[in-house]
Amino acid sequence: MDAFKHFKEFKMDVLKEIGNIGAGNAATALSCLLNKPIDMAVPKVKILRFEEVSDVVGGAEQVVVAIFFRVEGDVPGNLFFILTIESAKSLLRRLAGIDVAEDGTFNEMEISALNEIGNILTGSYLSSLADFTKLSMYPTVPSLAIDMAGAILSYGLLQYGEMGDDALLIDTKFVEGNEEVDGQFFLIPDPDSFSKIFKSLGVPLGND
């Protein structure tokens, strides 16, 4: 959607503010869940083409942990929270205090914990977006996959048909003391949904 190339700074500021509020809400919820202070750095927010999503996480062949949701409501779409294997292990070890194995495997408790953290994050970001837009958005029950990034995105396409051309990236950074863990949150609205989101925000989609 070429119109996105013509966003003025204030338009991207709206998305950044949504990311900031979502990150703050997620940090509070995670702190309550883990019973320890968790901060989230100011996230980097941008719009990118769907085909660029796998590049952001290290390429189509990069093995990642992905927590995948379908978004339902006024603006349906697909939602991915993606971590490298190393980041997922660090997240569990440093934040959740779980004694994880150093290989690429995850046991049932670790997968459950990742699902719960993914649920909190997506719920926080979606509720922030819903509050701003006054649109209904809610995630389905999450699915977790450990596979190559390209295969996971292809699975999403197979499950729900054609995805939109553009994705909203919120680059998430968890902070505990001097430790940081990175993850990426991608909202990929269905083809007609992005225009509804920006229309609700009063953001014109023309070349202004």
89 in any annotated domain: yes
Structural domain boundaries, residue 177: 2-200
Query: What is the pTM for the complete model shown?
Result: 0.82
142 in any annotated domain: yes
48 in any annotated domain: yes
206 in any annotated domain: no
Which CATH number covers residue 21? 3.40.1550.10
207 in any annotated domain: no
Query: What is the SS3 assignment for 95-145?
Result: HCCCCCCCCCCCCHHHHHHHHHHHHHHHHHHHHHHHHHHCCCEEECCCEEE
CB 38 within 8 A of CB 31: yes
Token pair of 129 as six digits? 């977006």
192 in any annotated domain: yes
**Cβ neighbours for 83, distance < 8 A, ≥ 6 positions apart:** 64, 65, 66, 91, 114, 182, 183, 184
pLDDT at site 73: 92
pLDDT surpassing 80 at residue 76: yes
Higher per-residue pLDDT: 172 or 65? 65
Q: Is the dihedral angle over the CA atoms 80, 81, 87, 92 positive or is it negative? A: negative
Count of helices and strands (H, E) across the chain: 6, 8
Average pLDDT, the chain: 81
Percent of the chain with pLDDT over 90: 6
The total domain count for the chain is 1
208 in any annotated domain: no
User: Which secondary-structure segment (H or E) carries 30?
Assistant: helix 9-34
165 in any annotated domain: yes
